[in-house]
Structures are given as C-alpha cells and as structure tokens.
Amino acid sequence: MAVKATVKILRTSGERKAERDIQADPGRSGELRLSMVGGVAQLNLSDPNDQQFNPLVPMLYHARLVAMYDNRMLFQGLTAHREEGGLRQEWSCEVTG
C-alpha cells in the first residue's frame, strides 16, 4: 500500500542541513511505500504512474519512524542497505492524500 506524500531529505553526506535550507526546500512529491526486504525496512518515494516503483530520491534503508504529528512523519535510516556502508539520513514526510 502507498500514500501520496511530499518528502524532504534532511541530510547531505550524513550531516543535517541548515534549518533555512530545509524550510526553503519544496521537497519531492510522489507515492511513499514502506517495505521489508530481507529483514530491512526500506522507504521508497516513487512516481504514482511508475509500475516499477523506481525511486525519485535515493531509498532510505533501515528506516524507522521516530516522530509523527498530524499528517507529518519523521523517518531516520541509512543511505545503504548494509549498515556499515551507509550514511545517516532523515526524511520529513507530509502525507498529502
């Protein structure tokens, strides 16, 4: 199952972006899907018309929900499937439909 959402990527090269940069970012809109593959939670934002679910932004691996408020969610995870190979990443997700 997928939900329509706008996603903001909150980190670059593992470092948190400046708040003004986060606020200025309009984010990417698409369908947000959370799946388990080989015991690893993976968060994917894809075009609603793409039946292959190709990611619009790099996938978030080892994704975990850390905060929820109204229609917004904050996920933390890594940029790579293998824990030792990934940088820290955070997604701010606003559910739009």
CA 74 to chain centre: 9
Tens of pLDDT, residue by residue over 11-44, are 999 999 999 999 999 999 999 999 999 999 999 9
**Domains, the chain, ordered by start:** 3-95 (2.30.29)
Q: Rounded to two decimals, what is the model's pTM? A: 0.91
CB 74 within 8 A of CB 91: yes
List Cβ neighbours of 25 (8 Å cut-off, separation of 6 or more): 8, 9, 17
Tens of pLDDT, residue by residue over 38-59, are 999 999 999 999 999 999 999 9
Q: 3-class DSSP state for residue 22?
A: helix
